[in-house]
Structure formats: structure tokens, C-alpha cells
Amino acid sequence: MNFAPLPSVDAAAVPSDGFVLDVRENDEWAAGHVEGALHIPMSDFVGRFGELTEAADDGRRVHVMCRVGGRSAQVTQYLVQQGIDAVNIDGGMQAWDGAGRPMVTDNGTPAFVL
């Protein structure tokens, strides 16, 4: 079988109003995340898949994020197989932080990548 390369995007190239899906675990999310991102941990993903399809029903591109890009690559591959326009964010939150992109926390403490 011939697999197409996984669609991916540099963290610096994600539009500021882009739709980000964060598949990291709860403790990672709490440490710091992209404002407005949809958080569905990879461990819960199949059970909560409907939340994503509802959020992305306008057909916009889904930018999938984890810490360094491994988990998000698996989720991106799954989404593409479901016919969803999804791209993996190369380097994940570490690259996002390294590119100086903004991060927030839910409790107002300084955000960091766990």
C-alpha cells in the first residue's frame, strides 16, 4: 500500500484564528495551551470524536497539537482517514512555544509546556 505523507504545518504558520485540537493529557493542558483550542485527550479521543466533528462541521482545517508531534500525528492520520481536513503541527507545543506563539492557562498562572 502507498501511504500519502502526513499533512503537517509549522507552528509559526498556524493562522492566529486557526482551529487547534489539543490531544495532550489534562495535566499538560493545565500547564499551558493555545487560547480557544479544543481539548480532547488522545486517550479519550474515540469516545469524544463527536465533539470534534461538531466543532469542525464548517469544514475548516483542524490543526492537531500535542507536546512534540507524535500523538497528534496519529490523530491527524485518523482524521484524514475520516475525510476531515486535518494537519499535524510539527513539533507540537514545544515548537509553538519556541516560535513565541501565545499560550494561556485556565487559572491565570504563567503558561509553560509540560
Q: Please identify every residue annotated as catalytic.
A: 66
Which one, of 86, 38, 88, 82, lies nearest residue 65 by Cα? 88
Q: Which amino acid is at 88?
A: N
Q: Are strands 8-10 and 19-22 parallel, antiparallel or unpaired?
A: unpaired
CA distance 74 to 57: 21
